[in-house]
Amino acid sequence: MTDHSPNHDPTCLFCKIIAKQIPSRRVYEDEEFYAFHDIAPWAPVHFLLIPKAHIASMAQVTQGHAALMGRMMALVPVLASQAGCRPYPEGGFRLVTNTGAEGGQEVRHLHFHIMGGPRPWLRG
Ligand code: AMP
Ligand code: ZN
C-alpha cells in the first residue's frame, strides 16, 4: 500500500500504521490484511484485524466487498488461535466491530477487535 493508492487515506491513523509511518506490534500481515496488538487491551489477547484498503467502517461494506470480507472472517479463528486464544468451546474469543459514533467507533478505518484469554477481563 503506497500513499498513491486510491484506497489509502493519508489522514487515517490505521492507514499510517499499515504504511509503517506509526509503529505497531504486528500479529499478521499479507497483501490484503494487517493485524496488530491493540494499544489499550481489554483482555489478555486483544488485537485488531484491518483490511489494507481504507474502508471507513462496516457501514460502507457492500456486496462488492463480499469476497474480501469472507477472507477477513476466515482469518479470525486462525489468528485468534495463533495469538493465544484457547480452543473452542472452553476458550474462544470475542469479535467486535464498532460502527459509527453511536456504535462506539473511534478510528474510522474498518477493524475487527479480537479478544480472548482467561477471564476476568478489564472490559467486555
Ligand atoms: P474503536 O473504538 O472500535 O474505533 O477502536 C479503536 C481501537 O484502536 C481502540 O481499542 C484503541 O485502543 C486502538 N488504538 C488506537 N490507536 C492505536 C495504535 N496506535 N496502535 C494500536 N491500537 C490503537
Ligand atoms: Zn485508513
Cell numbers found for residue 87: 480452543
**CA 67, 68, 70, 71 torsion-angle sign:** positive
DSSP class of 110: -
Fold classification of 13-116 (topology level):
HIT family, subunit A (3.30.428)
Q: Could you read off the pLDDT of 71-81 as tens digits, one per residue?
A: 999 999 999 99
The residue ranges of every structural domain in the chain are 13-116
Pocket test for ligand 1, best of 38, 58, 105, 113 (most atoms within 8 A of CB): 38
Which one of the ligands is nearest to 17 CA?
1
pTM score: 0.96
Q: Could you read off the pLDDT of 75-124 as tens digits, one per residue?
A: 999 999 999 999 999 999 999 999 999 999 999 999 999 999 999 999 98
